[in-house]
């Protein structure tokens, strides 16, 4: 009896493996055909992603721009302070 159970388990495991292999082969065929044509959906997605990367590349410079704007703001506040002092001195 244990030998029969082992044999049936091996047959079931082999059947499962063959079924999974069949599905993997079918999925692979579909995926190969998905990106094979000119103007296919995959090509459009890749183009859109490249455009997004190109358009958002400037975002990497924002921290440096903020730092420079803070420096400019501090300079303008200093000028404003000096102008207030000059105006108050003339009054």
Residue 62 has a pLDDT of: 87
My answer on whether 89 and 47 are in the same domain is yes
My answer on whether 66 and 44 are in the same domain is yes
Mean per-residue pLDDT, 19-35: 84
My answer on whether 50 and 9 are in the same domain is no
My answer on whether 1 and 30 are in the same domain is yes
Q: What is the pLDDT of residues 47-73, one digit of tens each?
A: 899 999 888 888 888 888 899 999 999
Mean per-residue pLDDT, 33-53: 79
My answer on whether 54 and 11 are in the same domain is no
pLDDT beyond 70 at 17: yes
My answer on whether 43 and 79 are in the same domain is yes
pLDDT beyond 90 at 46: no
pLDDT beyond 80 at 37: no
Give the ranges where the chain is alpha helix by DSSP (H).
Answer: 2-34, 41-56, 62-90
Its sign, for the CA torsion 53, 55, 58, 59, is: negative
Nearest to 41 by CA among 52, 28, 30: 30
For residue 15, give the 3-state DSSP assignment.
Answer: helix
- Which has more pLDDT, 43 or 79? 79
pTM: 0.39
Domain holding 52, by residue range, is: 39-91
Residue 35 has a pLDDT of: 62
Structural domain tally of the chain? 2
My answer on whether 90 and 48 are in the same domain is yes
For residue 37, give the 3-state DSSP assignment.
Answer: coil
């Amino acid at each position: 009896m244990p030998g029969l159970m082992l044999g049936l388990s091996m047959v079931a495991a082999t059947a499962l493996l063959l079924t999974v292999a069949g599905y993997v082969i079918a999925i692979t065929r579909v995926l190969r055909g998905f990106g094979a044509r000119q103007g296919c959906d995959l090509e459009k997605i890749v183009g859109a992603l490249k455009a997004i990367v190109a358009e958002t590349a400037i975002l990497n410079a924002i921290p440096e721009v903020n730092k420079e704007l803070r420096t400019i703001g501090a300079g303008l506040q200093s000028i404003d302070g000096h102008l207030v002092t000059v105006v108050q001195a003339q009054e």
